[in-house]
A and B are shown apart, each in its own frame.
Chain A
Amino acid sequence: MSLPVLPAASLRHLLRHPAQLALALLGLALGVATIVAVDTATASAQRAFELSLQAVNGAADYQIVGGPAGIDERLYVQLRRDVAPATAPVRFAPLVSGYVQLGGRILQLIGTDPFAGAELEADAAGPRAPGGVPAAADPAAARDWLAPGAVALGASLAAALHLTTGASLELTIGGVGHPATVARILPGAAFDALILTDIAQAQEWLGVRGRLSRIDLRLPPGAAGARALEALRRTLPAGLELQATRASARETFAMTGAFTTNLKAMSLLALLVGTLLIYGAISFAVVQRRAIFGVLRALGATGGQVLMLVLAEAAVLGVAGAACGALLGLLLARALVGLVAQTINDLYFVVAVSSVSVPALTLVKALGAGVATALVAALLPALEVARAAPQLALVRSSLEQRALGIARRLAVASAALALGAGLLVLVSGRSLFAGFVALFLLLIAVAAATPAALRALALGGARVAARSSAVARLACGEIAGSLSRTGVAVAALGMALSAMIGVAIMVGSFRESLRDWLTQTMRADIYVSAPGSADSPERRLAPELIRDLLATPGVQAHSEGRRAVVRSPRGALDLNALSIPPASRAAFRFSAGDPARAWQAFAAGAVLISEPLAWRLALAPRATLTLTTSAGPRAFEVAGVYREYGNDRGEVLMDLATYRRSFGDDGVGALGLYLAPGTAVAPTVAALRRTASGRQALLIRSNAELRALSMRIFERTFVITRVLYWLAAGVAAVGLVSALLAWELERGAQLALLRALGLTPARAALLVLAQTAFMGLAALLAALPAGLLTALVLTEVINRRAFGWQIDLHLSAAQFTNALWLALAASLAAGLYPAWRGARLVPAAALREA
């Protein structure tokens, strides 16, 4: 048989069923779109972050960093004089950074020395600052740049704030307003989250005179560079470290690792659901054409040719779906990128993503994923039709027979998959990746068990229904008998519902754990803190203001706190230094270590660590944690591990006195105020605000306000998760609609027979709707236990491995309602059109067509 006939037959079939084609494409496209969107959004955030790093001293390949108190600026002068003059000179540039508030945004303030910066960038092979700081050799620019209050900001930021060169603005730094002037507007996306100023101005604004945040340096190439690096390492004072710029940037962005991994896993879920849909669509298309394939085979087409035909169809579908998906994904990415950036800002560091950068690799991956998905999904039905004996291919019942066999085998496979998932969790130790694999195995197991479960349910339903109505019995029987069609759609829906329930339970449990923790931990009546990023030097309460605040009537006791980022051989760590009144020690719930002994050791200089840190660094009580103090590395005893849900990277808790001794930073970033019994909170807050007014814009919040704020931030960080699981659910719903629509249309003849036998139009419609509702409920039923199991994996395996949190499982009806609505909505939507057709059909005509 000549080959050209085969594609023609395919094309004719697909074109005759445009709705079916469109739905299959939509399912695949949505799956691919989710992957592209997540990939693009995270890549854009990373790109924005890297650009902002390169914006200043981008040619630096190493940097000298200090502790929370920074670096003495005299070291810089000394380095320039003593290390630079080697015949292969090292170039140095100083930098001071902190955070400012401007127009409701938090921006990084970077103070540079343009002369040293230009020298560092000069004839560098690496990336250059686009626009950068003004050329030092241009005296007019130099004069404007060194003028008090001069700042430079990015073009898109300037446009958003309606600022032009020469415009005046007010920056709020550590709660204090400072007048500034726009000296320069810088092109390029690198400056979206930055405000640049002269180093002198930055030191004055941030209140860090005499200190530098870091010293960037560029080494001469080759062996001379290595020698210079070695010499530098030897001469660097204790407490300072030399680190590769790229490595430190990687380390910073790696903070978001667990978060982006979770996002990617969620996007894979959408594609997984999409795979089932493609399978459903292709196998349906094959089944519909069983007569044609039978004829083709009878006419001499080989099994291989038919196999290739079906696979080619799938490939075309895959390419088309992936292409649509990529386009849709790019649109989706624009919406998602804001959410990703928001989460990174809430949890990790300041980044502004003004442009969506699409990695070429993402598009290739999307195309590959789309085509591979379609091929894998089509393989089973294609093999089936290719293997069938020519005459048998004409008989539809043989297919259902086979489907039944497959369903049974799948049920067995499902048990094996679930077992495999369980085993994997047990043996994979700390691997987050393995955790996700186990999660996916579990979801696939759910999908695999669904057809058999559906059949059992439907047969059971038929038996029960037989007592009341023959039609109802028929409805159920049909579902059981058409497993090749119904099974897949219900499996896809079941899988999406399981994921939905699992995530809902996980988020709900997390929320309750957080709420409990906040209630227990937050003991003070009023919290006062300087605004700004946790780790920036300007976040400091003015000492005289602290005195006045504490003198407010009603304030009985107080605690002081300082947050900082400190360095350690295991990377940068968040440190929380607190002076904790003994009465408040009960606020900390230990998950390891004896509290009495731990507190004793804490007062004597030991540290406590939060659960996520204990997990991440695999530390237990009695271990030591080395931190780079201002006097060089020092080992601290870990006295205990406490529960903490505020920081997914974990934190080190240190007595404030120990911190001051070790890091030479005596700033106070926050106060907890305890009121005398009977003192009203609101008037005291008002009085405190009056005291601070005009001096420092402090955040003064009551216990209840701060708790509410914490919960709001928590909700915000889960917005993306919700968006993604609704996308997966959307894919499943489309799949159900598509599969059921096709199935119902196909059995028009049966319905016609029933109508001819006296079924009224209304009852015919009801019959169809009842069938789809039954399937929706069956999917939900399967999803209930599976969802619980998913939630367990999410909390006990995924969250634990990603962040080290222990989350107590909290169940509530609300966690299931979304899934219920989705199941009902999807099944009813799937049933409406067929029901309408069933009611409208003219029995005689339909029977003739059949």
Chain B
Amino acid sequence: MRAVPCALVLACAAAAAAPPAPLLPGTAAGFAAAGAPRRFEFPRDDGPHPGFRHEWWYVTGNLDAADGSRFGFELTFFRFALAPAAAAAPPPPRSAWRSREVWMAHFAVTDVAERRFRAVQKLSRAALDLAGGDGEPARVWIDDWSLAAAPGGAGRWTAHASQAGYAIELTLTAAGAPVLNGVEGLSRKAADPGAASYYYSVPRLRVRGSLTRGGETLAVRGLAWLDREWGSGGLGRDQEGWDWFALQLDDGSALMFYALRDRGGGRDPFSAGTWVAPDGAVQPLGSADVAIDVEDHWRSAAGDRYPARWRLRVPRLALDLTLLPVLPDQELQTTPRYWEGAVDASGQRSGRPLAGRGYVELVGYAR
């Protein structure tokens, strides 16, 4: 779900005095607001929406190499406007470094065989081709990291990123149309009308490509999930974090659910999700539809306690799954820290065994 770029919003909340800032600093004045359902148009909506304050492209996936090694990866790009386009700028001639947008990207690899998790963050201003986003065909990048849609809107993307020890070069092909979350793609996060965003997902992207580990390049294939979201507001006043689940199940179905947590640790009623049946039928899920029990915890080196095993039940769908991280430590050492990792799902639907893979994001646990 990522109500706003997670690292950024938490940084704001941490920086602000009580009461915690529900939104990004300052007002959203001058920015477009996600106030009412809109008509989504593809491939145009794959690209940036500069009138909104923030926006992200979020790819997570599970990969298998030919030799049987298993990997998880996360590649995300955040666009973050510091001021509306109409804001005062210094008189020309202006430096090419002047920019009102900051871009952030995270690239993480979970190397299951080596029991290793590596994540790197990049931050840059949108200037001088250092970072930025293009529309049709959509392309977002920071330095040499990029996520680019193929021309023509065929639902094909390429992803490229590298860090010390790992690099990926992947082609992602959508199996099915984008899924609009919330009400026709308008996703409300709190009672405050400003706390909403436009949110769509591509739950199943077939992945082909290569992953480089050290000096060794491995051919990989697997499934990835793309989340796209943009808006100008943030979380509600009393929300302190969320648990986000994105699962691709073996029968061709997919489940997305975000559980917003309020200050007391309880479930916020604005929590919501989407069920995509094997035949592609989409069904929104409300907070009451999904029951989640945390069955285990993991404590990070810094002493933060994260949930580490869940039982997720959707009685309406007769779905009962147990989720287990492929590695306990998949915490990104960014500012602030959050956990985002590959998980295995196993259980049953309507009495028949069902397994799958997915990604879970845990935000707001790090102190």
Residues of A within 8 A of B (CB): 73-74, 76-77, 80-82, 84-85, 87-89, 113, 115-116, 118-119, 135-143, 146, 148-149, 198-201, 203-204, 209-210, 220
- State the CA gap A198–B94 with chains docked (Å): 13
With A85-B144, A85-B162, A200-B95 as known contacts, state yes or no: A119 contacts B82, CB within 8 Å.
no
* Contact (Cβ within 8 A) B99 A200: yes
* Contact (Cβ within 8 A) A87 B123: no
Whether B190 is near chain A, meaning CB under 8 Å from some CB there, is no
Residue of B15, B97, B123, B124 with highest tally of chain A CB at under 10 A: B97
* Contact (Cβ within 8 A) B95 A142: no
Which of A89, A203, A204 has a CB less than 8 Å from the CB of B163? A89
Which of B11, B95, B98 has a CB less than 8 Å from the CB of A137? B11
> Quick one: closest A residue to B102, CB to CB?
A142
Please give the distance in Å from A183's CB to the nearest CB on chain B.
13
* Contact (Cβ within 8 A) A203 B97: yes
Chain B residues within 8 Å of A199, by CB: 95, 97
Further 10 A-B residue pairs, CB within 8 A, beyond A113-B125, A139-B11, A146-B100: A81-B144, A137-B7, A137-B335, A138-B15, A139-B12, A142-B102, A146-B102, A148-B90, A200-B98, A203-B95
- State the CA gap A210–B128 with chains docked (Å): 10
* Contact (Cβ within 8 A) A139 B83: no
With A87-B165, A115-B124 as known contacts, state yes or no: A77 contacts B97, CB within 8 Å.
no
The 4 A-B pairs at the shortest CB distance, nearest first, are namely: A200-B97, A200-B95, A203-B95, A140-B25
Instruction: Identify which of residues 83-136 in chain B touch chain A, using a CB-to-CB cut-off of 8 Å.
Output: 83, 88-90, 93-100, 102, 104, 121-125, 127-130
- State the CA gap A560–B165 with chains docked (Å): 55
- State the CA gap A21–B47 with chains docked (Å): 87
Please give the distance in Å from B144's CB to the nearest CB on chain A.
4
- State the CA gap A521–B167 with chains docked (Å): 64
* Contact (Cβ within 8 A) B164 A87: yes
* Contact (Cβ within 8 A) A204 B334: no
With A119-B122, A137-B123 as known contacts, state yes or no: A143 contacts B82, CB within 8 Å.
yes
Which of A113, A137, A210 has a CB less than 8 Å from the CB of B8? A137
Chain A residues within 8 Å of B57, by CB: none
Chain B residues within 8 Å of A198, by CB: 97
Q: Mark B132-171, 1 if CB is under 8 A from A, else 0.
A: 0000000000011000000000000000001111110000
* Contact (Cβ within 8 A) B88 A88: no
Chain A residues within 8 Å of B82, by CB: 139, 142-143, 146
Chain B residues within 8 Å of A116, by CB: 124
* Contact (Cβ within 8 A) A77 B93: no
Please give the distance in Å from B108's CB to the nearest CB on chain A.
16
* Contact (Cβ within 8 A) B123 A118: yes
Please give the distance in Å from B79's CB to the nearest CB on chain A.
12
Chain B residues within 8 Å of A138, by CB: 11-12, 15, 335
* Contact (Cβ within 8 A) A204 B93: yes
> Quick one: closest A residue to B92, CB to CB?
A204
20 A-B pairs, CB-CB below 8 angstroms? A73-B97, A81-B144, A85-B162, A87-B162, A87-B163, A87-B165, A87-B214, A88-B164, A113-B125, A115-B123, A116-B124, A136-B123, A139-B12, A140-B26, A142-B82, A146-B99, A148-B90, A200-B95, A200-B98, A204-B93
* Contact (Cβ within 8 A) A85 B130: no
> Quick one: closest A residue to B161, CB to CB?
A85
Which of B16, B128, B167 has a CB less than 8 Å from the CB of A77? B128
Interface residues on B, range: 35 or more
Main secondary structure of the interface of A (DSSP, over half): helix
Whether B346 is near chain A, meaning CB under 8 Å from some CB there, is no
Residue of A87, A201, A203 with highest tally of chain B CB at under 10 A: A87
- State the CA gap A142–B143 with chains docked (Å): 19
* Contact (Cβ within 8 A) A80 B94: no
Chain A residues within 8 Å of B24, by CB: 139
- State the CA gap A441–B11 with chains docked (Å): 68
With A73-B128, A115-B125, A140-B12 as known contacts, state yes or no: A148 contacts B164, CB within 8 Å.
no
Chain A residues within 8 Å of B127, by CB: 200
* Contact (Cβ within 8 A) A85 B167: yes
- State the CA gap A80–B130 with chains docked (Å): 8
* Contact (Cβ within 8 A) B144 A84: yes
> Quick one: closest B residue to A89, CB to CB?
B164
With A87-B212, A209-B93 as known contacts, state yes or no: A115 contacts B102, CB within 8 Å.
yes
Instruction: Identify which of residues 7-40 in chain B touch chain A, using a CB-to-CB cut-off of 8 Å.
Output: 7-8, 11-12, 15-16, 24-26
Please give the distance in Å from B77's CB to the nearest CB on chain A.
14
Please give the distance in Å from A805's CB to the nearest CB on chain B.
43
> Quick one: closest B residue to A207, CB to CB?
B93
Please give the distance in Å from B367's CB to the nearest CB on chain A.
17
Whether B80 is near chain A, meaning CB under 8 Å from some CB there, is yes
Please give the distance in Å from B238's CB to the nearest CB on chain A.
21
Please give the distance in Å from B225's CB to the nearest CB on chain A.
25
Chain B residues within 8 Å of A210, by CB: 96
- State the CA gap A713–B98 with chains docked (Å): 41
Q: Mark B161-186, 1 if CB is under 8 A from A, else 0.
A: 01111110000000000000000000
Which of B95, B165, B335 has a CB less than 8 Å from the CB of A204? B95
* Contact (Cβ within 8 A) B164 A220: yes
- State the CA gap A200–B167 with chains docked (Å): 32
With A119-B122, A200-B94, A200-B95 as known contacts, state yes or no: A139 contacts B102, CB within 8 Å.
yes
With A74-B128, A87-B164, A89-B163 as known contacts, state yes or no: A139 contacts B8, CB within 8 Å.
yes
* Contact (Cβ within 8 A) A77 B25: no
Chain A residues within 8 Å of B121, by CB: 137
* Contact (Cβ within 8 A) B15 A140: yes
Chain B residues within 8 Å of A141, by CB: 15
> Quick one: closest B residue to A79, CB to CB?
B143
With A77-B130, A140-B25 as known contacts, state yes or no: A209 contacts B8, CB within 8 Å.
no
> Quick one: closest B residue to A122, CB to CB?
B121
- State the CA gap A542–B156 with chains docked (Å): 53
Instruction: Identify which of residues 232-266 in chain B touch chain A, using a CB-to-CB cut-off of 8 Å.
Output: none
With A77-B130, A87-B214, A148-B88 as known contacts, state yes or no: A139 contacts B97, CB within 8 Å.
no
- State the CA gap A148–B98 with chains docked (Å): 9
- State the CA gap A115–B105 with chains docked (Å): 12
* Contact (Cβ within 8 A) B94 A204: yes
Please give the distance in Å from B163's CB to the nearest CB on chain A.
7
Please give the distance in Å from B165's CB to the nearest CB on chain A.
6
* Contact (Cβ within 8 A) B144 A143: no
- State the CA gap A74–B212 with chains docked (Å): 29
Please give the distance in Å from B364's CB to the nearest CB on chain A.
16
Chain B residues within 8 Å of A203, by CB: 95, 97
Instruction: Identify which of residues 338-367 in chain B touch chain A, using a CB-to-CB cut-off of 8 Å.
Output: none
With A77-B129, A80-B143 as known contacts, state yes or no: A119 contacts B80, CB within 8 Å.
no
Please give the distance in Å from B190's CB to the nearest CB on chain A.
20
Chain B residues within 8 Å of A140, by CB: 12, 15-16, 25-26
> Quick one: closest B residue to A138, CB to CB?
B11
Chain B residues within 8 Å of A82, by CB: 144
- State the CA gap A89–B107 with chains docked (Å): 14
- State the CA gap A146–B101 with chains docked (Å): 10
> Quick one: closest A residue to B167, CB to CB?
A87
- State the CA gap A136–B334 with chains docked (Å): 11
- State the CA gap A141–B165 with chains docked (Å): 32
* Contact (Cβ within 8 A) B98 A139: no
* Contact (Cβ within 8 A) B80 A139: yes
Instruction: Identify which of residues 274-333 in chain B touch chain A, using a CB-to-CB cut-off of 8 Å.
Output: none
Which of B25, B125, B128 has a CB less than 8 Å from the CB of A146? B125
Please give the distance in Å from B232's CB to the nearest CB on chain A.
13
* Contact (Cβ within 8 A) B102 A209: no
Chain B residues within 8 Å of A220, by CB: 164
> Quick one: closest A residue to B7, CB to CB?
A137
Please give the distance in Å from A117's CB to the nearest CB on chain B.
10
> Quick one: closest B residue to A198, CB to CB?
B97
Residue of B7, B90, B99 with highest tally of chain A CB at under 10 A: B90
- State the CA gap A116–B143 with chains docked (Å): 11
- State the CA gap A661–B316 with chains docked (Å): 79
Chain A residues within 8 Å of B128, by CB: 73-74, 76-77
Chain A residues within 8 Å of B94, by CB: 200, 204, 209
